Structure 1
């Protein structure tokens, strides 16, 4: 390998590109060559000894079509160069890209073997899953249309088609609901006394997103008790509230201390009794939490005041939760929302969020499919990992799970050693 490249972290980069016995996380900022590093790792996967990985058994993902196209173009260019080893430049003249001499030095391959593997990869590159997570989700769904419940010829909607359908369905439904023949005028009177029609419409649109689990939402609203996990979280906030009060409270309280004391009461009551515990809050405490906190006070550290403000906002939000009102809204909207979802799918359309929601469901509810997909893909590489949301995260981990193991929740998963490689920049998150 050429050693004249003036990069201080050369050894770390090389390790990230060529370590295959464990999973690798690369944290790096913008402009540091993350994509080059990822493409280099792809090349090493295709060439490594022993057990090179065919390009059709690699998943390489990023989060925009532009970034995915750049990744594929750069890999194609690198493979094209490697098919002609005699013309292959070194890293120093090619921005750090892996060269034929690098591969020969590491794996003792001949120039002919490298060229043959590069040509094979080039021939199959369009079959490889190098693209966006949404495109990979679409591929998985089309492979398993029966299990995922989709038309294998479904079309991916960028939002325009859904907007047309939602608007038409909403207008027709609203005319029926508010007409003289409507059967739920009493519900509408109650809902519209607290919310505008535009707000109700916005909620209906949001509920049409397939990432929203309507069944779980109904269950959560049906029981006002908070889950153990949320109760523990509220207890932690209560503890922090008490710590701040101990540090800043004084006999003649200012607004922030009054509001923080009321916040502590809300946290304690909800943690102990669930949402019904809010009824035990005193009228004075409610009045303090109805106020606006205002600007920081001089005796408080800025960071502590900022944290106190966040705790107070959380308490105010807990007080604003109205289960009865939300249940009335859902009673009104769920038939419409389910109808729109079913019609959209029946017409052969899937939204981008629908792709992810159905792929996640497929992987977690069909163990045989998940095992097959885990077996089919031996390497998973993800660029811009800071952009993942929880559903995307679960899909990536499910595909990277160890063969033969199966967990129903992502944090119990055992990952295949060396299968997952992720690159990200937390500062861009």
Structure 2
């Protein structure tokens, strides 16, 4: 088979943890299947099919993986029909642990249900059924809280849900419960949260609290970027005849930025920021605008002004003493909030146990109970005997769509990964991470990728060759995302090292088509709502372009119209 250099490395490299960053259309499934097949057939150290653990994101992906590896092995058997070892592996692959994370957890729980004290005949509840159980749990929780008459709850309710309705309280508790479930050890996270909040509430600890340090260092980092931009700007205009008023402006802004950069605490930064401001940009004459660097200076001035104004309005809103007093007042409410969320979890779990129905989060957490022996004071998990046994069983662990892994799933992987027994092969693309709303943590991908780039614990491989799209599509995609995506916005710097490129031998490599944009400029930009006439106008614009393409020699079968939503659009388009 023909592989790219990077694909070949991902398939044949041995005895190392590997992370593959696979861009769209880069052949990641082919790489996964080929690596498994080559490991099975390795002449020196073959790995039998039942020693694989493969975790995919969907059941469909798991089924496809099994089918493709089976076909690969059957093609090899057709060339070597007397190979009994190969026949054995084809039988084993059908029963191999190739599944979603939840399916793996489900199997693990049903195998070790006695260690969890649950009924092995449990099932995953329907969403409507689970919703009713949650409602019963929240009603019981609030009844208990009101009956207790505890002052902390009364203050919490008065602060966040004044009036006769408890709906806000229900939503608040539900939100915190759901978020806490994304942590492998929620109790540790709750305790850590309280400790950090207590630091904010205490005057002597306020400046050193993680929250304050985070926002202060972030502000300083943003400021440093503007300082570097100014330094570059001043270097470019050195020796030029700079209009006096712009020279004065640059000097004033430079001094203001420098004063901010010299601060070493939140309060010091706040004082400098609140007492000063970025001077207005001087009105320009026609001659001023002829100055070669006029637009560059104007753009930089606007960037600095917007940045510091945003910091004033959203971060450095009050002196430290005032914010500390507010934090001290909020702390008891936070404690009560956590008590409510933890009690809700207990009640909800009891209802689920009574009905013998659970949700997918429960599968992950039950699996953790089986795989984690204990957590140390820092929250680090240590594997149980069950985890150690499984780590010896699985010689190779594969994880697909790794960018959408959450902290609980990551801990499950860590418990199954043992340096002396197996290696980990992860595949994903942080640029395609779309499940943060489900508490996916693409930062886990980035952290592991960075470690492997430095050849700590593993090797990082980048698959950039796209075999699915025409070069014109790739060129357009790279153009757009190189201007939108950077490490702080999207998790990766979209540059020449990460951009997609047309793969040699790809089916569309010779395609000469280019991408184009059709602009429809509305009369008013005050609203994003689409009026019916807008849809008709857009449809007319598209129809006109289609007619032009037909006249150029294309056929209607060559054209497809993709819509974000069919509602209110498909009928007008069909009528055209």
Same fold by TM-score greater than 0.5: yes
CA radius of gyration, larger in: 2
SS in 2 for 1:30: coil
Distance 1:12 1:281, change over 3 A: closer
Does the aligned pair in 2 maintain the 1:221–1:323 contact within 8 Å?
A: no
User: Judging changes above 3 Å, is the alpha-carbon distance between structure 1 residues 371 and 330 closer, same or farther for their aligned structure 2 residues?
Assistant: closer
| 1:31 alignment counterpart | 25
Aligned to 2:95: 127
How far apart are 1:348 and its partner, in Å?
2.9
Q: How far 1:379 sits from its partner (Å)?
A: 0.7
**Which protein is richer in helix relative to its size?**
1
Tell me: CA distance 1:299–1:153, structure 2 relative to 1, closer, same or farther (3 Å).
same
Find 1:237's aligned residue among 194, 218, 229.
218
Question: How many angstroms does 1:302 deviate by?
Answer: 5.0
2:82 aligned with 1:112: yes
Q: 1:238 and 1:398 mapped to 2: Cα distance?
A: 37
- Mapped partners of 1:30, 1:125: distance in 2: 27
Residue in 2 that maps onto 1:92: none
Structure 1 match to 2:174? 205
Q: Distance in 2 between matches of 1:119 and 1:373?
A: 25
| Contact 1:65/1:131, CA 8 A, preserved across alignment | yes
Given that 2:141 and 2:340 are in contact with CA atoms closer than 8 Å, whether structure 1 keeps it comes out as no
Return closer, same or farther for 1:35/1:395 CA change in 2, 3 Å cut-off.
Answer: same
Please tell me whether residue 349 in structure 1 is matched to residue 382 in structure 2.
no
Aligned counterparts of 1:146 and 1:12: Cα–Cα separation in 2: 46
Q: 1:310 to 1:396 in 2, by over 3 A?
A: farther
Structure 1 residue 79 corresponds to structure 2 residue 73: yes
Partner of 1:340: 348
Give unpaired runs (5+ residues) of structure 2. Answer: 201-207, 231-248, 277-297, 374-382, 434-576
Tell me how far apart the structure 2 counterparts of residues 286 and 193 of structure 1 sit (CA, whole Å). 30
> Residues of 1 paired with 2:317 and 2:114: CA distance?
46
1:428 aligned residue (423, 432, 440) = 432
CA distance in 2, matches of 1:144, 1:206: 31
Query: Deviation per CA, 1:290-335, whole angstroms, max 9, x where unpaired?
Result: xxxxxxx944475996699589756679958632221232344533
Q: Distance in 1 between matches of 2:160 and 2:401?
A: 42
Q: Verify the 8 A CA contact 1:241 1:264 in the aligned structure 2.
A: no
How many angstroms apart in 1 are the aligned matches of 2:137 and 2:397?
41
SS at match of 1:21: coil
Pairs within 5 Å for 1:13-412: 13-85=7-79, 111-113=81-83, 116-157=84-125, 159-174=127-142, 183-184=149-150, 187-188=153-154, 190-195=156-161, 197-209=166-178, 210-212=181-183, 213-223=185-195, 224-225=198-199, 233=214, 236-237=217-218, 239-240=220-221, 243=224, 268-269=265-266, 298-300=299-301, 302=303, 309=310, 313=314, 322-365=330-373, 366-403=383-420
Contact 2:160–2:168 (8 Å) recurs in 1: no
SS in structure 2 opposite 1:138?
Answer: helix
Alignment check: 8 A CA contact 1:207 1:337 kept: no
- Residue 381 of structure 1 aligns to a residue whose secondary structure is strand
CA distance in 2, matches of 1:217, 1:147: 25
Shift of 1:148: 4.4
Query: Alpha-carbon deviation of 1:421?
Result: 1.4
CA contact (8 A) 2:141 2:347 kept: no
Shift of 1:173: 4.4
Give a deviation string over 1:175-221, Cα, whole Å, max 9, x none.
Answer: 5655xx56348733542333463332123223444445453244235
**Pair 377,329 (structure 1): closer, same or farther in 2 beyond 3 Å:** same
CA distance in 2, matches of 1:325, 1:264: 36
**1:23: Cα distance to partner?**
2.1
Structure 1 counterpart SS, 2:82: helix
Q: Larger relative CO (CA 8 A, sep 6+): 1 or 2?
A: 1
Pairs aligned (count): 360
Deviation sequence 1:65-98 (CA, Å, 0-9, x none):
222222122223333333322xxxxxxxxxxxxx
- Provide the C-alpha distance between the structure 2 equivalents of 1:286 and 1:149, rounded to a whole number of angstroms: 59
Question: Aligned partners of 2:370 and 2:314: how far apart in 1?
Answer: 38
The TM-score normalised by the length of structure 2 is 0.52
Q: CA deviation at 1:42?
A: 1.3
Query: Aligned-pair distance for 1:380?
Result: 0.7
8 Å CA contact 2:155, 2:333 repeated in 1: no
Q: Deviations over 1:97-116 (max 9, x none)?
A: xxxxxxxxxxxxx5522xx3
Matching residue of 2:293: none
Give the whole-Å Cα distance in 1 for the aligned partners of 2:29 and 2:314.
40
Using the TM superposition, give the Cα deviation of residue 39 of structure 1 relative to its aligned residue in structure 2, in angstroms: 0.9
Q: Which moved more, 1:197-206 or 1:168-177?
A: 168-177
Q: Does the 8 Å contact 1:47/1:53 carry over to 2?
A: yes
Is the Cα–Cα contact under 8 Å of residues 173 and 340 in structure 2 kept in the other structure?
Answer: no
CA separation in 1, counterparts of 2:12 and 2:343?
A: 54
TM-score w.r.t. length of structure 1? 0.68
Could you list the runs of 5+ residues in structure 1 that have no partner in the other structure?
Answer: 86-109, 270-277, 289-296, 404-415
- CA distance in structure 1 between the partners assigned to 2:301 and 2:394 by the alignment: 55
Compared CA separation, residues 390 and 380, structure 1 to 2 (3 A): same
